[in-house]
Amino acid sequence: MNPDGLPDRADLERELRNLRRGGLPALQSLVPRALRAVTLHCGQAEGEDDLADGAERLIRAAAERLGTDDLIGRAAQCTFGLLPGHRGDPAADRRRAAAQVYGVSDERFRHSQERRVLEQLAGAILAEARDPAARTPRPAVLPRPRPAGPRPTTVPYAGLPGRAGSRPVTVHVSPIELLRDIDVLVSSENVHLEMSKSFRPTVSGALRRAAVVGCAPEGPDTDVLAGELAAWVRARPGVLPLRPGTVVPTGPGALAERGVRRVYHAALAIPDGLGYRVDPQSIATAVAACFTRARRERAAGLRSICFPLLGAGRGGLDRRISAEWLRWSIEDALTADPDWSVHIVTRYPQAAGYFDAVVPDTPEAPGA
Protein backbone atom coordinates (compact mmCIF):
# COMPACT_ATOMS: atom_id res chain seq x y z
CA MET A 1 0.00 0.00 0.00
CA ASN A 2 1.29 3.46 -0.93
CA PRO A 3 1.35 6.43 1.50
CA ASP A 4 -1.59 8.02 -0.36
CA GLY A 5 -3.74 4.97 0.36
CA LEU A 6 -3.58 3.55 -3.17
CA PRO A 7 -2.55 -0.07 -3.75
CA ASP A 8 0.72 -1.14 -5.33
CA ARG A 9 0.90 -1.19 -9.09
CA ALA A 10 1.93 -4.85 -9.10
CA ASP A 11 -1.21 -5.84 -7.17
CA LEU A 12 -3.42 -3.92 -9.58
CA GLU A 13 -1.66 -5.45 -12.58
CA ARG A 14 -2.21 -8.96 -11.18
CA GLU A 15 -5.93 -8.27 -10.71
CA LEU A 16 -6.24 -6.93 -14.26
CA ARG A 17 -4.62 -10.12 -15.55
CA ASN A 18 -7.28 -12.17 -13.77
CA LEU A 19 -10.07 -9.82 -14.83
CA ARG A 20 -9.04 -10.17 -18.47
CA ARG A 21 -10.47 -13.70 -18.51
CA GLY A 22 -13.94 -12.79 -17.33
CA GLY A 23 -14.01 -9.31 -18.83
CA LEU A 24 -15.99 -6.34 -17.58
CA PRO A 25 -19.17 -8.39 -16.87
CA ALA A 26 -17.20 -10.21 -14.14
CA LEU A 27 -17.12 -6.99 -12.12
CA GLN A 28 -20.83 -7.41 -11.39
CA SER A 29 -20.07 -10.42 -9.20
CA LEU A 30 -16.75 -9.32 -7.69
CA VAL A 31 -14.59 -6.20 -7.79
CA PRO A 32 -11.10 -7.31 -6.66
CA ARG A 33 -9.47 -5.67 -3.64
CA ALA A 34 -6.95 -3.32 -5.27
CA LEU A 35 -9.33 -2.14 -7.98
CA ARG A 36 -12.01 -1.63 -5.32
CA ALA A 37 -9.66 0.58 -3.31
CA VAL A 38 -8.73 2.75 -6.31
CA THR A 39 -12.36 3.10 -7.42
CA LEU A 40 -13.46 4.32 -3.99
CA HIS A 41 -10.37 6.52 -3.58
CA CYS A 42 -11.02 8.58 -6.72
CA GLY A 43 -14.77 8.90 -6.13
CA GLN A 44 -15.89 6.76 -9.02
CA ALA A 45 -18.19 4.90 -6.61
CA GLU A 46 -19.83 5.76 -3.29
CA GLY A 47 -20.43 2.23 -2.07
CA GLU A 48 -21.29 -1.35 -2.95
CA ASP A 49 -24.33 -0.43 -5.05
CA ASP A 50 -22.33 1.36 -7.75
CA LEU A 51 -18.90 -0.21 -7.18
CA ALA A 52 -18.97 -2.41 -10.31
CA ASP A 53 -20.07 0.45 -12.59
CA GLY A 54 -17.50 2.75 -11.00
CA ALA A 55 -14.69 0.24 -11.55
CA GLU A 56 -15.72 -0.09 -15.20
CA ARG A 57 -15.73 3.69 -15.60
CA LEU A 58 -12.26 3.84 -14.11
CA ILE A 59 -10.87 1.19 -16.47
CA ARG A 60 -12.40 2.97 -19.47
CA ALA A 61 -10.95 6.31 -18.36
CA ALA A 62 -7.51 4.73 -17.88
CA ALA A 63 -7.58 3.20 -21.37
CA GLU A 64 -8.50 6.61 -22.81
CA ARG A 65 -5.62 8.13 -20.85
CA LEU A 66 -3.25 5.74 -22.65
CA GLY A 67 -4.54 7.16 -25.95
CA THR A 68 -6.92 5.62 -28.49
CA ASP A 69 -4.42 6.34 -31.30
CA ASP A 70 -1.63 4.61 -29.37
CA LEU A 71 -0.99 0.89 -29.83
CA ILE A 72 -1.06 0.23 -26.07
CA GLY A 73 -4.27 2.21 -25.59
CA ARG A 74 -6.05 0.48 -28.46
CA ALA A 75 -4.84 -2.94 -27.33
CA ALA A 76 -6.13 -2.19 -23.81
CA GLN A 77 -9.54 -1.33 -25.26
CA CYS A 78 -9.61 -4.61 -27.18
CA THR A 79 -8.35 -6.65 -24.21
CA PHE A 80 -11.25 -5.57 -22.01
CA GLY A 81 -13.95 -5.21 -24.68
CA LEU A 82 -14.17 -1.43 -24.33
CA LEU A 83 -15.08 -0.80 -27.97
CA PRO A 84 -18.79 -0.53 -28.85
CA GLY A 85 -20.43 -3.93 -29.23
CA HIS A 86 -17.54 -5.94 -27.74
CA ARG A 87 -18.10 -5.73 -23.97
CA GLY A 88 -19.32 -9.33 -23.71
CA ASP A 89 -16.89 -10.93 -26.17
CA PRO A 90 -15.16 -14.14 -25.00
CA ALA A 91 -11.62 -13.77 -23.65
CA ALA A 92 -10.11 -15.49 -26.70
CA ASP A 93 -11.84 -13.09 -29.10
CA ARG A 94 -10.70 -10.07 -27.09
CA ARG A 95 -7.10 -11.31 -27.01
CA ARG A 96 -7.21 -11.99 -30.75
CA ALA A 97 -8.44 -8.44 -31.43
CA ALA A 98 -5.67 -7.01 -29.25
CA ALA A 99 -3.04 -9.14 -31.01
CA GLN A 100 -4.24 -7.82 -34.37
CA VAL A 101 -3.54 -4.27 -33.17
CA TYR A 102 0.14 -5.24 -33.06
CA GLY A 103 -0.07 -7.54 -36.09
CA VAL A 104 1.18 -10.60 -34.17
CA SER A 105 -0.21 -14.04 -33.32
CA ASP A 106 -2.38 -14.56 -30.25
CA GLU A 107 0.32 -16.61 -28.57
CA ARG A 108 3.08 -14.09 -29.19
CA PHE A 109 0.86 -11.31 -27.89
CA ARG A 110 0.08 -13.31 -24.72
CA HIS A 111 3.77 -13.83 -23.92
CA SER A 112 4.97 -10.35 -24.87
CA GLN A 113 2.80 -7.31 -25.62
CA GLU A 114 -0.08 -8.29 -23.32
CA ARG A 115 2.14 -7.95 -20.25
CA ARG A 116 3.13 -4.45 -21.31
CA VAL A 117 -0.49 -3.50 -21.97
CA LEU A 118 -1.66 -4.66 -18.52
CA GLU A 119 1.31 -3.01 -16.83
CA GLN A 120 0.62 0.32 -18.56
CA LEU A 121 -3.12 0.09 -17.88
CA ALA A 122 -2.45 -0.47 -14.18
CA GLY A 123 -0.24 2.62 -14.16
CA ALA A 124 -2.90 4.63 -15.99
CA ILE A 125 -5.54 3.59 -13.42
CA LEU A 126 -3.32 4.85 -10.59
CA ALA A 127 -2.59 8.06 -12.53
CA GLU A 128 -6.33 8.54 -13.04
CA ALA A 129 -6.91 8.10 -9.31
CA ARG A 130 -4.23 10.67 -8.46
CA ASP A 131 -5.58 13.21 -10.96
CA PRO A 132 -7.81 15.72 -9.12
CA ALA A 133 -9.94 16.11 -12.25
CA ALA A 134 -10.82 12.42 -12.05
CA ARG A 135 -12.36 12.61 -8.57
CA THR A 136 -15.81 13.56 -9.83
CA PRO A 137 -17.76 10.41 -10.70
CA ARG A 138 -18.50 10.03 -14.40
CA PRO A 139 -21.94 9.04 -15.69
CA ALA A 140 -22.52 5.32 -15.79
CA VAL A 141 -21.61 3.62 -19.06
CA LEU A 142 -24.43 1.24 -19.84
CA PRO A 143 -23.60 -1.86 -21.87
CA ARG A 144 -25.14 -2.05 -25.32
CA PRO A 145 -26.07 -5.31 -26.98
CA ARG A 146 -23.88 -6.34 -29.89
CA PRO A 147 -25.85 -5.74 -33.11
CA ALA A 148 -26.18 -8.35 -35.80
CA GLY A 149 -25.56 -5.81 -38.57
CA PRO A 150 -23.31 -2.73 -38.79
CA ARG A 151 -22.06 -1.55 -35.40
CA PRO A 152 -23.50 1.75 -34.14
CA THR A 153 -21.06 4.64 -34.16
CA THR A 154 -21.24 8.37 -33.70
CA VAL A 155 -19.55 10.67 -36.17
CA PRO A 156 -18.63 13.94 -34.43
CA TYR A 157 -19.19 17.23 -36.24
CA ALA A 158 -20.88 15.49 -39.18
CA GLY A 159 -22.12 17.66 -41.99
CA LEU A 160 -20.28 20.93 -41.47
CA PRO A 161 -20.76 23.26 -44.45
CA GLY A 162 -17.48 24.15 -46.11
CA ARG A 163 -16.18 25.43 -49.41
CA ALA A 164 -13.61 24.55 -52.02
CA GLY A 165 -13.17 27.93 -53.65
CA SER A 166 -16.72 28.96 -54.59
CA ARG A 167 -17.99 25.37 -54.54
CA PRO A 168 -19.77 23.90 -51.48
CA VAL A 169 -18.35 20.81 -49.81
CA THR A 170 -19.18 18.95 -46.61
CA VAL A 171 -16.47 18.71 -43.94
CA HIS A 172 -16.38 15.87 -41.40
CA VAL A 173 -14.14 16.03 -38.32
CA SER A 174 -14.01 12.29 -37.82
CA PRO A 175 -12.06 9.10 -38.52
CA ILE A 176 -12.72 8.27 -42.17
CA GLU A 177 -13.81 4.70 -41.38
CA LEU A 178 -16.82 6.02 -39.39
CA LEU A 179 -18.41 7.83 -42.33
CA ARG A 180 -21.63 6.49 -43.79
CA ASP A 181 -23.45 6.59 -47.12
CA ILE A 182 -20.64 8.13 -49.19
CA ASP A 183 -20.11 6.27 -52.47
CA VAL A 184 -16.34 6.69 -52.80
CA LEU A 185 -13.72 7.04 -50.06
CA VAL A 186 -10.24 8.11 -51.20
CA SER A 187 -7.13 6.71 -49.51
CA SER A 188 -3.60 8.07 -49.78
CA GLU A 189 -1.00 5.38 -50.62
CA ASN A 190 2.64 5.19 -51.61
CA VAL A 191 3.72 4.74 -55.23
CA HIS A 192 4.30 1.00 -54.59
CA LEU A 193 0.63 0.53 -53.58
CA GLU A 194 1.63 -0.99 -50.25
CA MET A 195 -1.09 -0.02 -47.82
CA SER A 196 -0.28 1.07 -44.29
CA LYS A 197 -0.35 -1.66 -41.62
CA SER A 198 -3.86 -2.08 -40.22
CA PHE A 199 -2.74 -1.06 -36.72
CA ARG A 200 -1.29 2.27 -37.90
CA PRO A 201 -3.30 5.44 -37.09
CA THR A 202 -3.41 6.45 -40.77
CA VAL A 203 -6.22 6.78 -43.30
CA SER A 204 -4.80 3.84 -45.27
CA GLY A 205 -4.47 1.67 -42.16
CA ALA A 206 -7.92 2.57 -40.88
CA LEU A 207 -9.64 1.78 -44.18
CA ARG A 208 -7.70 -1.48 -44.52
CA ARG A 209 -8.77 -2.53 -41.05
CA ALA A 210 -12.40 -1.50 -41.49
CA ALA A 211 -12.74 -3.31 -44.83
CA VAL A 212 -11.66 -6.76 -43.56
CA VAL A 213 -14.35 -9.37 -44.25
CA GLY A 214 -14.89 -12.32 -41.91
CA CYS A 215 -12.72 -13.53 -39.06
CA ALA A 216 -11.00 -16.90 -38.88
CA PRO A 217 -9.39 -18.23 -35.65
CA GLU A 218 -5.92 -17.34 -36.89
CA GLY A 219 -6.83 -13.74 -37.82
CA PRO A 220 -8.62 -11.72 -40.52
CA ASP A 221 -10.20 -13.90 -43.17
CA THR A 222 -9.99 -11.56 -46.16
CA ASP A 223 -7.82 -8.43 -46.24
CA VAL A 224 -9.94 -7.06 -49.07
CA LEU A 225 -8.26 -3.78 -49.98
CA ALA A 226 -4.64 -4.96 -49.81
CA GLY A 227 -5.59 -8.17 -51.61
CA GLU A 228 -7.25 -6.35 -54.51
CA LEU A 229 -4.32 -3.95 -54.86
CA ALA A 230 -1.88 -6.86 -54.92
CA ALA A 231 -3.96 -8.59 -57.62
CA TRP A 232 -4.02 -5.36 -59.65
CA VAL A 233 -0.20 -5.16 -59.50
CA ARG A 234 0.28 -8.86 -60.38
CA ALA A 235 -1.82 -8.36 -63.50
CA ARG A 236 0.54 -5.58 -64.64
CA PRO A 237 4.17 -6.79 -64.36
CA GLY A 238 6.68 -3.96 -64.15
CA VAL A 239 4.07 -1.30 -63.39
CA LEU A 240 5.68 -0.30 -60.08
CA PRO A 241 6.51 2.26 -58.93
CA LEU A 242 3.45 4.13 -60.15
CA ARG A 243 3.55 7.68 -61.40
CA PRO A 244 2.54 9.96 -58.48
CA GLY A 245 -1.13 10.87 -58.75
CA THR A 246 -2.20 7.54 -60.23
CA VAL A 247 -5.50 6.25 -58.83
CA VAL A 248 -6.38 2.56 -58.48
CA PRO A 249 -9.95 1.52 -57.49
CA THR A 250 -10.95 -1.39 -55.26
CA GLY A 251 -14.17 -2.68 -53.78
CA PRO A 252 -15.23 -1.60 -50.27
CA GLY A 253 -15.10 -4.95 -48.46
CA ALA A 254 -16.91 -4.69 -45.11
CA LEU A 255 -17.25 -0.91 -45.61
CA ALA A 256 -20.20 -1.76 -47.85
CA GLU A 257 -22.18 -2.19 -44.62
CA ARG A 258 -21.74 1.57 -44.12
CA GLY A 259 -22.96 2.43 -47.62
CA VAL A 260 -19.49 2.77 -49.19
CA ARG A 261 -19.31 1.43 -52.74
CA ARG A 262 -15.72 2.02 -53.84
CA VAL A 263 -12.31 2.91 -52.39
CA TYR A 264 -9.97 4.89 -54.63
CA HIS A 265 -6.28 4.54 -53.78
CA ALA A 266 -4.25 7.62 -54.76
CA ALA A 267 -0.54 6.78 -55.12
CA LEU A 268 1.23 9.87 -53.80
CA ALA A 269 3.99 9.13 -51.29
CA ILE A 270 7.49 8.53 -52.67
CA PRO A 271 9.89 6.64 -50.37
CA ASP A 272 12.67 8.94 -49.18
CA GLY A 273 15.14 7.36 -46.78
CA LEU A 274 13.19 6.16 -43.75
CA GLY A 275 10.21 8.35 -44.60
CA TYR A 276 8.23 9.66 -47.54
CA ARG A 277 7.85 12.85 -49.53
CA VAL A 278 4.81 14.12 -51.42
CA ASP A 279 4.85 16.64 -54.25
CA PRO A 280 1.76 18.88 -53.76
CA GLN A 281 1.25 18.94 -57.53
CA SER A 282 0.53 15.21 -57.32
CA ILE A 283 -2.56 16.02 -55.23
CA ALA A 284 -4.06 17.90 -58.17
CA THR A 285 -3.24 14.97 -60.47
CA ALA A 286 -4.84 12.50 -58.06
CA VAL A 287 -8.00 14.56 -57.51
CA ALA A 288 -8.52 14.91 -61.27
CA ALA A 289 -7.94 11.16 -61.69
CA CYS A 290 -10.50 10.38 -58.95
CA PHE A 291 -13.19 12.41 -60.69
CA THR A 292 -12.30 10.89 -64.06
CA ARG A 293 -12.60 7.40 -62.59
CA ALA A 294 -15.84 8.26 -60.79
CA ARG A 295 -17.38 9.59 -64.02
CA ARG A 296 -16.64 6.26 -65.70
CA GLU A 297 -18.52 4.53 -62.90
CA ARG A 298 -21.40 6.99 -62.74
CA ALA A 299 -23.62 4.45 -64.47
CA ALA A 300 -23.26 2.34 -61.32
CA GLY A 301 -24.88 5.15 -59.34
CA LEU A 302 -21.83 6.91 -57.91
CA ARG A 303 -22.70 10.45 -56.83
CA SER A 304 -20.56 11.29 -53.77
CA ILE A 305 -16.83 11.21 -53.05
CA CYS A 306 -14.77 11.94 -49.92
CA PHE A 307 -11.14 13.10 -49.72
CA PRO A 308 -8.84 13.09 -46.69
CA LEU A 309 -6.00 15.60 -46.46
CA LEU A 310 -3.92 13.77 -49.03
CA GLY A 311 -0.25 13.37 -48.18
CA ALA A 312 -0.62 15.06 -44.78
CA GLY A 313 -0.11 11.94 -42.67
CA ARG A 314 3.02 9.85 -43.01
CA GLY A 315 3.59 11.62 -46.33
CA GLY A 316 4.85 14.53 -44.25
CA LEU A 317 3.02 17.30 -46.11
CA ASP A 318 1.79 20.23 -44.03
CA ARG A 319 -1.99 19.99 -43.52
CA ARG A 320 -2.57 23.55 -44.70
CA ILE A 321 -0.68 22.92 -47.95
CA SER A 322 -2.60 19.70 -48.54
CA ALA A 323 -5.90 21.52 -47.92
CA GLU A 324 -5.00 24.35 -50.30
CA TRP A 325 -4.20 21.98 -53.14
CA LEU A 326 -7.38 20.00 -52.44
CA ARG A 327 -9.48 23.18 -52.55
CA TRP A 328 -8.03 24.29 -55.88
CA SER A 329 -8.29 20.84 -57.42
CA ILE A 330 -11.84 20.14 -56.24
CA GLU A 331 -13.07 23.54 -57.42
CA ASP A 332 -11.51 22.91 -60.82
CA ALA A 333 -13.18 19.48 -61.06
CA LEU A 334 -16.59 20.79 -59.95
CA THR A 335 -16.41 23.71 -62.37
CA ALA A 336 -16.18 21.19 -65.20
CA ASP A 337 -18.67 18.71 -63.70
CA PRO A 338 -20.75 20.12 -60.82
CA ASP A 339 -22.99 17.06 -60.40
CA TRP A 340 -21.04 15.61 -57.44
CA SER A 341 -21.47 15.67 -53.70
CA VAL A 342 -17.95 16.27 -52.33
CA HIS A 343 -16.85 15.58 -48.76
CA ILE A 344 -13.64 16.32 -46.84
CA VAL A 345 -12.64 14.31 -43.77
CA THR A 346 -10.02 15.14 -41.13
CA ARG A 347 -9.36 14.21 -37.52
CA TYR A 348 -8.27 17.78 -36.70
CA PRO A 349 -10.96 20.40 -35.93
CA GLN A 350 -8.63 23.27 -36.85
CA ALA A 351 -8.21 21.81 -40.34
CA ALA A 352 -11.94 22.32 -40.98
CA GLY A 353 -11.19 26.03 -41.10
CA TYR A 354 -9.06 25.52 -44.21
CA PHE A 355 -12.38 24.86 -45.98
CA ASP A 356 -14.26 27.73 -44.27
CA ALA A 357 -16.12 25.28 -42.04
CA VAL A 358 -16.60 26.38 -38.42
CA VAL A 359 -16.50 23.68 -35.76
CA PRO A 360 -18.94 24.45 -32.91
CA ASP A 361 -17.43 24.80 -29.45
CA THR A 362 -19.89 22.29 -28.00
CA PRO A 363 -21.10 20.05 -30.79
CA GLU A 364 -24.39 18.24 -30.58
CA ALA A 365 -24.63 14.59 -31.43
CA PRO A 366 -25.99 13.91 -34.93
CA GLY A 367 -29.76 14.05 -34.88
CA ALA A 368 -29.85 15.97 -31.55
Pairing of strands 262-272, 275-277: antiparallel
For residue 132, the tally of other CB atoms under 10 A from its CB is: 7
**Mean pLDDT confidence for 200-221:** 77
CA–CA separation, 40 and 48 (whole Å):
10
CA–CA separation, 162 and 168 (whole Å):
6
Q: Are 225 and 195 in contact (CB under 8 A)?
A: yes
Q: Does the pTM exceed 0.75?
A: no
pLDDT in tens, 82-131: 877 788 888 998 998 888 888 888 888 999 899 999 999 999 999 888 87
CA–CA separation, 208 and 267 (whole Å):
15
pLDDT in tens, 177-191: 999 999 999 999 999
> pLDDT band at 261, cuts 50/70/90?
very high
Please tell me the total number of residues recorded for the chain in this structure.
368
Is residue 139 over pLDDT 80? no
CA–CA separation, 4 and 295 (whole Å):
66
What single-letter amino acid sits at 14? R
Pairing of strands 262-272, 184-190: parallel
For residue 77, the tally of other CB atoms under 10 A from its CB is: 24
For residue 138, the tally of other CB atoms under 10 A from its CB is: 14
Omega of the bond prior to 168 within 30 degrees of 0, cis? Answer: no
CA–CA separation, 285 and 357 (whole Å):
25
Q: What residue spans of the chain are helical by DSSP H?
A: 9-22, 33-41, 51-66, 71-79, 91-102, 106-111, 113-130, 203-211, 224-234, 280-296, 319-336, 349-352
CA–CA separation, 182 and 69 (whole Å):
24
pLDDT in tens, 323-362: 999 999 999 999 999 999 999 999 989 999 999 998 876 4
